[in-house]
Every structure is written in C-alpha cells, then in structure tokens.
Amino acid sequence: MLGNSYEGQVCSAARALEVVGERWSLLIIRDALFGGVTRFSDFARCLGLARNILAARLDGFVEAGIMERFLPEGAAYQEYRLTRKGRDLAPVIIALTDWGDRWAAPNGRPVIYRHAECGGDVEQQLVCRACGMAIEPDQVDIELGPGMTGAAW
C-alpha cells in the first residue's frame, strides 16, 4: 500500500508490500508478535504514531486478514490479535532485524531473538530444499513460475 498498490508488478514481494509496506505497518506487527501488544492504546503508546493512522492500519490489517478483533469474554476492551497469516510475517521482521543488527546497530543488538525451548540465538538461513546446503544470498537465481503472467515482473 503506502496508500496504494504496485499494480504493474507481478511479484509476491510486491503483493506482500501492498499489505504491510506502509509506514508503521511492520512495526505494529512486530509489537504484536514479539511484544505481546494487543490493544489500541498500547500500540499508540509504544509506537508514538498518530491514532488516526493507527486506526487506519488496524482496520487494514483486519480487512486483509492478518489481524482479528477479539472481545475477551466478560468484558470490556477489545484486543487485536494476529492471525496465522499475520504471525507468518515473523521471518520478514526477523530478516529486517538481522540486517539492522549488522549494519545499523553500532552499540550492539538492542533486541535478541531466542529459541524459546533452549534459549539459543535464532539465526535465519537460506537452505536448498534439494541438496540441503546453506545458501549465500548471491547463490540465488530466479526462475519464472506458474503464477507469472505476461513477460515482465
């Protein structure tokens, strides 16, 4: 989005950015995923964004199916919860964080992701499904798949 779309692009990354590419979107999802934030006012406080923008983003997330509104039984204030589709964005946020840690964190990592079971550092890897090897980013090629229409991306 960012208010609009990337129409000309036949590309899943563009489709994803239409949903979560606007300003604040990924930070809202980060807080929901890893900070356990669920309520309107808590998002506004944590992030310091304007409340009308927050309302617009949350509406968009609900409409896109990455969050759902939920009223805990008995009472009073509603929660915004990530759906499976929303939680599936975790790798995106972790990839951004990894990059920021490496290239924009002179004082060390502010936040560390840990394996809940054993407490170890979480690392993101590209793996080849065929040969099982770990892959460096420059060993990745692209190929057009069945969802491609027309000639261009």
Partner DNA sequence: CGCGACTGGTTGCATCATGCGACCATTGAA
Partner DNA sequence: TTCAATGGTCGCATGATGCAACCAGTCGCG
CA distance 132 to 89: 24
When CB distances are held under 5 to 8 angstroms depending on the partner's kind, the choice from a second copy, DNA, none that residue 126 binds is: a second copy
Residues numbered 46 to 75 that lie near a second copy (CB under 8 A) are: 46-48
> Exactly one of 52, 73, 76, 107 binds a second copy (CB under 8 A); which one?
107
Residues numbered 3 to 32 that lie near DNA (CB under 7 A) are: 3-4, 22-24
Question: Per CB under 8 A, does 89 bind a second copy?
Answer: yes
> Exactly one of 36, 73, 75, 147 binds DNA (CB under 7 A); which one?
75
CB 44 within 8 A of CB 73: no
- 74 Rama sector, left if φ>0, alpha if ψ -120 to 50, beta otherwise: left
DSSP H/E element including 33: helix 25-34
User: In 64-103, which positions are buried (b, 16+ CB within 10 angstroms) versus exposed (e)?
Assistant: bebbeeeeeeeeeeebbebeeebeebbebbbeebeeeeee
> Exactly one of 46, 56, 90, 94 binds DNA (CB under 7 A); which one?
56
> Exactly one of 32, 34, 52, 67 binds a second copy (CB under 8 A); which one?
34
67: β partners: 82
> Exactly one of 73, 75, 76, 117 binds a second copy (CB under 8 A); which one?
117
User: Contact residues for DNA (CB under 7 A)?
Assistant: 2-4, 22-24, 39-42, 49-53, 55-56, 58, 69, 75-79
